[in-house]
């Protein structure tokens, strides 16, 4: 359980995190979403005591991180996979971490196997590929077998196989009853991994909801239909109470009635339907819509 | 266009009860720092370089000084200190120890490892002191090995052409052990400076300025200024611990070393305050 209350972080006149309150609960994957620069990493740094909040507080299992007696047995974090001394082997890197909290060396071999680095564990971490480095970072988070896990952009730079592996790992960690917090600026990734979403923009909370709830909340349901006689079908739809606008790539964009009703209307009027697609706003679109006011560097129109 | 989420959310099952973790201790932090220091090759290389400089170069200087003894004249003979002659190269070897001392801290900031270190050991004073303790202990062992080897080899070659001394002579054993203590103190001071400035280039510049540049600048001042400054300059006062024949305007052995230790403690304290205040 991670709990933030009115968490605020200012650097000079810049406010990175502004009055953020949330609660991250066990047994599910919580996605931490926001555009780059939204304050995700700063928030995670405050959770594990690297940065001190300017205001408010954040606790893990009811205590400030710095007061935990054996911190990595309660919270494991991957913030920056490149944060490794390049001259040290992966195994020794993990031994350093294990020793600091009195964890036996056998656990190091265990996590090396879990992340699939066992055969290359004696190599210098500096010679690792991006993907291997990411696995090492995940191994480091798992050393203490903690009940809370936190990953900052874990799939960055991974190949498709690695992405599926991370996704599966997150889900199984949550299924074991652990608290899993994963940050990303990629909505599509979160859609596949998370059960719950916390969305921030410019350091402020924008949404805190389940993924399904998130989707249904803002998305106007619509139907795309293409037929042999769009003009006549449009009349039928309008007559049945639907709203019709021409779709960008041809066909009709229908709102107000379901795809089933559109099909029935077409059948009754004897119009051949070539395409009939119910459209849900993608998580991506909802996200863009929600965060467009909070982008630090919104892109302008190209003249 | 449409995005689907995992249709089968996994029912949370209870994680197997983890073994109750015992609290992490200062000893754990020390073990972790020991693995850190000994698991990078640059540590061994730098320590080897220090030994080669201190003993090899020291023996060469001892031989050359001894062979010029006969032509030195009365004044030279009156201040002849074969012990400190055999330690002349420590002035050079200390640089290797100092650089390593800076690096054990700043290499963490350079790689981002410091964020891992402070996440696993959030008690920052514990982090700093365990690191300082491990490095100081290593510097002490290397320093004592260097001191005894440089002394024994140095006396052997001085004895070819000039009066030498033995460990049994007054104050000599203190000076030899003191040379190792001095190197350990310089190493600790360098680490504390590294923790204060958090940057390799700045840290090395600062310790070089303290050891070589500023004392050189002070020498350019009129002696009424330079004498008292040199007398209490931490690194120069500290070097009195490996001097047997005391010259004018210098502190006694242990008082001089005390100045160095006090100064080091102040810098370490400042580093601790800064570490606890600053974001990682």
Strand partners, A209: A197
Is B7 touching A (CB cutoff 8 A)?
Answer: no
Tell me, yes or no, whether A165 and A244 share the same domain. Answer: no
CATH number reported for the structural domain that contains residue A28 in this entry: 3.40.50.300
Tell me, yes or no, whether A169 and A226 share the same domain. Answer: no
Nearest to A188 among B3, B121, B122 (CB): B3
Residue A120: count of CB within 10 angstroms of its CB = 17
Give the mean model confidence (pLDDT) for residues B30-50.
96
| CA–CA separation, B160 and B66 (whole Å) | 7
Most confident of the following: A208-212, A279-283, B126-130: B126-130
Contact status, residue B242 vs residue B178, Cβ threshold 8 Å? yes
**So what's the pLDDT on residue A282?**
67
**So what's the pLDDT on residue A301?**
53
Tell me, yes or no, whether A14 and A94 share the same domain. Answer: yes
Tell me, yes or no, whether A134 and A30 share the same domain. Answer: yes
Strand order in the sheet with A273-279: A243-246, A252-255, A222-227, A273-279
User: Which residues in chain A have Cβ-Cβ distances shorter than 8 Å to B36?
Assistant: 85, 88, 96
* Cross-chain residue pair A102–B9, CB shorter than 8 Å: no
User: Which residues in chain A have Cβ-Cβ distances shorter than 8 Å to B18?
Assistant: 73, 145, 147
Closest Cα in chain B to A103: B21
Nearest to A85 among B2, B29, B107 (CB): B107
Give the mean model confidence (pLDDT) for residues A289-301.
63
Closest Cα in chain A to B104: A85
SS3 A26: coil
* pLDDT of B2 above 80: no
Q: Is residue A69 part of a domain?
A: yes
| CA–CA separation, B248 and B275 (whole Å) | 40
- CB neighbours of B128 closer than 8 A, spacing ≥ 6? B195, B268, B271, B272, B275
- Confidence band of B20 (pLDDT split at 50, 70, 90): low
**So what's the pLDDT on residue B12?**
42
Give the mean model confidence (pLDDT) for residues A105-109.
96
* Cross-chain residue pair A73–B36, CB shorter than 8 Å: no
* Cross-chain residue pair B24–A71, CB shorter than 8 Å: yes
Tell me, yes or no, whether A127 and A265 share the same domain. Answer: no
Give the mean model confidence (pLDDT) for residues A67-86.
94
Tell me, yes or no, whether A224 and A210 share the same domain. Answer: no
* pLDDT of B19 above 80: no
Contact status, residue B39 vs residue A96, Cβ threshold 8 Å? yes
* pLDDT of B1 above 50: no
Tell me, yes or no, whether A28 and A73 share the same domain. Answer: yes
Q: Could you report the per-residue pLDDT of B143-187, keeping only the tens digit for each?
A: 999 999 999 999 999 999 999 999 999 999 999 999 999 999 999
| CA–CA separation, B86 and B243 (whole Å) | 10
Q: What phi, psi does B90 have (nearest 5°)?
A: -65, -30
Give the mean model confidence (pLDDT) for residues A242-271.
88
Average pLDDT, chain A: 90
Contact status, residue A144 vs residue A76, Cβ threshold 8 Å? yes
| CA–CA separation, B104 and A88 (whole Å) | 13
User: Which residues in chain B have Cβ-Cβ distances shorter than 8 Å to A29?
Assistant: none
Tell me, yes or no, whether A109 and A165 share the same domain. Answer: yes
User: Which residues in chain A have Cβ-Cβ distances shorter than 8 Å to B2?
Assistant: 278-280, 282
In chain A, the percentage of residues whose pLDDT exceeds 90 is 67
Closest Cα in chain B to A286: B3
Contact status, residue B241 vs residue B253, Cβ threshold 8 Å? yes
Q: What phi, psi does A209 have (nearest 5°)?
A: -155, 165
* pLDDT of A36 above 60: yes
| CA–CA separation, B8 and A194 (whole Å) | 12
- Rounded CA Rg of chain B: 24
3-state helix vs strand vs coil in chain A, percent to 5: 40, 30, 35
* Structure tokens that stand for B199 in this block: 């940057």
| CA–CA separation, A198 and B100 (whole Å) | 45
Tell me, yes or no, whether A146 and A234 share the same domain. Answer: no
Give the mean model confidence (pLDDT) for residues B46-75.
91
Strand partners, A28: none
For residue A89, the 8-state DSSP code is B
Give the mean model confidence (pLDDT) for residues B85-103.
96
- Confidence band of B7 (pLDDT split at 50, 70, 90): very low
* Structure tokens that stand for B57 in this block: 């170069």
Contact status, residue A173 vs residue A180, Cβ threshold 8 Å? yes
- CB neighbours of A270 closer than 8 A, spacing ≥ 6? none
Give the mean model confidence (pLDDT) for residues B23-31.
97
ipTM score of complex: 0.89
**So what's the pLDDT on residue A79?**
93
Tell me, yes or no, whether A142 and A192 share the same domain. Answer: yes
| CA–CA separation, B158 and B87 (whole Å) | 12
Most confident of the following: A170-179, A230-239, B242-251: A170-179
**Vertex A130: Cα angle to A128 and A134 (nearest 5):** 95
* Cross-chain residue pair A100–B118, CB shorter than 8 Å: no
Q: CA-CA-CA-CA torsion for A116, A119, A124, A125, nearest 10 degrees?
A: 0
In chain B, the percentage of residues whose pLDDT exceeds 70 is 92
CA distance from start to end of chain B: 42
More confident of the two residues B68 and A187: B68
Give the mean model confidence (pLDDT) for residues B186-191.
98
Is B36 touching A (CB cutoff 8 A)?
Answer: yes
User: Which residues in chain A have Cβ-Cβ distances shorter than 8 Å to B112?
Assistant: 80, 82-84
| CA–CA separation, B118 and B234 (whole Å) | 31
Q: Could you report the per-residue pLDDT of B264-276, keeping only the tens digit for each?
A: 999 999 999 999 9
Tell me, yes or no, whether A177 and A28 share the same domain. Answer: yes
Give the mean model confidence (pLDDT) for residues A271-287.
80
Is B22 touching A (CB cutoff 8 A)?
Answer: yes
Q: Is residue A247 part of a domain?
A: yes
Q: Is residue A239 part of a domain?
A: yes
Q: Could you report the per-residue pLDDT of A172-185, keeping only the tens digit for each?
A: 999 999 999 999 88
- Confidence band of B3 (pLDDT split at 50, 70, 90): very low
| CA–CA separation, A237 and A266 (whole Å) | 9
User: Which residues in chain B have Cβ-Cβ distances shorter than 8 Å to A277?
Assistant: 1
Nearest to A70 among B10, B21, B111 (CB): B21
| CA–CA separation, A219 and A214 (whole Å) | 9
Tell me, yes or no, whether A27 and A69 share the same domain. Answer: yes
Q: Is residue A301 part of a domain?
A: no
| pTM of the predicted structure, to 2 decimals | 0.85
- Confidence band of B9 (pLDDT split at 50, 70, 90): very low
For residue A18, the 8-state DSSP code is E
Range of the domain at A259: 220-279
| CA–CA separation, A170 and A134 (whole Å) | 14
Nearest to B3 among A51, A82, A284 (CB): A284
Give the mean model confidence (pLDDT) for residues B29-55.
97
**So what's the pLDDT on residue B145?**
98
**So what's the pLDDT on residue B11?**
41
* Matching residue, tokens 């600053």: B278
Testing the interface with B: which of A85, A122, A211, A277 to mutate, by most B Cβ within 10 A? A85
Q: CA-CA-CA-CA torsion for B95, B101, B102, B106, nearest 10 degrees?
A: 150
User: Which residues in chain A have Cβ-Cβ distances shorter than 8 Å to B115?
Assistant: 45, 50, 79-80, 83
Q: Could you report the per-residue pLDDT of A113-157, keeping only the tens digit for each?
A: 999 999 999 999 999 998 899 999 999 999 999 999 999 999 887
Give the mean model confidence (pLDDT) for residues B118-135.
97
Is B208 touching A (CB cutoff 8 A)?
Answer: no
* Cross-chain residue pair A83–B115, CB shorter than 8 Å: yes
Contact status, residue A72 vs residue A143, Cβ threshold 8 Å? yes
More confident of the two residues B7 and A104: A104
Contact status, residue A225 vs residue A262, Cβ threshold 8 Å? yes
Residue B224: count of CB within 10 angstroms of its CB = 7
Chain B residues 80-99 within an 8 A CB cutoff of chain A: none
SS3 A298: coil
- CB neighbours of A27 closer than 8 A, spacing ≥ 6? A174, A175, A177, A178, A179, B12
Structural domains of chain A, count: 2
Average pLDDT, chain B: 91
Q: Residue A100: which of A48, A144, A50 has the closest Cα? A: A144
| CA–CA separation, A183 and A34 (whole Å) | 8
| CA–CA separation, B36 and B117 (whole Å) | 10
CATH number reported for the structural domain that contains residue A236 in this entry: 3.30.70.100
Q: How many CB pairs under 8 A join A and B?
A: 152
Contact status, residue A100 vs residue B24, Cβ threshold 8 Å? yes
**So what's the pLDDT on residue A290?**
74
Give the mean model confidence (pLDDT) for residues B118-137.
97
In chain A, the percentage of residues whose pLDDT exceeds 70 is 93
Q: What phi, psi does A57 have (nearest 5°)?
A: -155, 160
**So what's the pLDDT on residue B4?**
39
Contact status, residue A98 vs residue A108, Cβ threshold 8 Å? yes
């Amino acid at each position: 359980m991670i709990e933030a209350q009115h968490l605020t972080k200012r650097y000079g006149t810049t406010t990175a995190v502004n009055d953020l309150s949330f609660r991250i609960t066990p047994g599910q994957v919580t996605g931490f979403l926001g555009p780059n620069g939204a304050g995700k990493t700063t928030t995670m740094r405050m959770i594990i005591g690297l940065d001190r909040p300017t205001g408010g507080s954040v606790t893990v299992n009811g205590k400030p991180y710095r007061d935990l007696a054996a911190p990595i047995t309660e919270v494991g974090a991957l913030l920056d996979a490149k944060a490794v001394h390049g001259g040290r082997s992966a195994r020794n890197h993990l031994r350093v971490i294990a020793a600091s909290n009195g964890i036996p060396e056998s656990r190091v071999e265990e996590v090396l196997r879990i992340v699939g680095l066992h055969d290359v564990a004696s190599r210098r971490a500096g010679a690792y590929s991006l993907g291997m480095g990411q696995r090492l970072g995940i191994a480091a988070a798992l050393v203490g077998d903690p009940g809370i896990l936190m990953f900052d952009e874990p799939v960055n730079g991974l190949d498709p196989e690695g992405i599926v592996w991370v996704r599966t790992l997150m889900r199984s960690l949550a299924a074991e009853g652990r608290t899993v917090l994963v940050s990303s600026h990629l909505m599509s990734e979160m859609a596949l991994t998370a059960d719950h979403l916390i969305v921030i923009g410019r350091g402020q909370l924008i949404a805190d909801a389940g993924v399904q709830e998130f989707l249904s909340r803002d998305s106007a349901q619509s139907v795309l239909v293409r037929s042999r006689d769009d003009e006549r079908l449009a009349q039928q739809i309008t007559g049945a109470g639907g709203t019709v606008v021409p779709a960008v790539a041809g066909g009709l964009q229908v709102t107000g009635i379901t795809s089933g009703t559109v099909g029935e209307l077409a059948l009754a009027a004897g119009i051949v339907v070539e395409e009939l697609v119910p459209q849900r706003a993608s998580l991506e679109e909802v996200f863009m819509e929600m965060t467009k006011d909070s982008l630090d560097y919104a892109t302008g129109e190209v003249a | 266009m449409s995005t689907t989420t995992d249709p089968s959310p996994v029912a949370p099952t209870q994680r197997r009860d983890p073994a109750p973790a015992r609290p992490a201790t200062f000893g754990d932090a020390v073990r972790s720092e020991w693995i850190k220091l000994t698991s990078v090759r640059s540590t061994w290389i730098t320590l080897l370089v220090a030994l080669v400089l201190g003993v090899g170069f020291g023996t060469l200087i001892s031989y050359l000084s001894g062979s010029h003894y006969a032509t030195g004249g009365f004044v030279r003979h009156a201040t002849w200190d074969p012990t400190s002659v055999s330690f002349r190269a420590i002035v050079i070897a200390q640089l290797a120890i100092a650089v390593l001392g800076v690096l054990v801290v700043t290499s963490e900031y350079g790689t981002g490892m410091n964020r891992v270190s402070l996440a696993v050991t959030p008690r920052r004073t514990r982090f700093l002191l365990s690191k300082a303790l491990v490095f100081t202990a290593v510097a002490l062992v290397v320093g004592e090995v260097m001191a005894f080897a440089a002394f024994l080899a140095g006396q052997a070659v001085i004895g070819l052409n000039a009066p030498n001394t033995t460990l049994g002579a007054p104050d000599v054993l203190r000076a030899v052990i003191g040379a190792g203590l001095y190197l350990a103190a310089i190493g600790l001071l360098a680490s504390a400076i590294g923790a204060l400035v958090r940057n390799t280039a700045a840290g090395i510049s600062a310790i070089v300025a303290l050891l070589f540049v500023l004392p050189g600048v002070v020498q350019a001042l009129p002696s009424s200024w330079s004498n008292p400054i040199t007398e209490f300059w931490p690194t120069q006062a500290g070097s009195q611990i490996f001097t047997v024949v005391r010259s004018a305007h210098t502190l006694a052995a242990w008082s001089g070393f005390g100045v160095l230790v006090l100064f080091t403690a102040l810098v370490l304290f400042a580093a601790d305050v800064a570490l606890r205040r600053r974001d990682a």
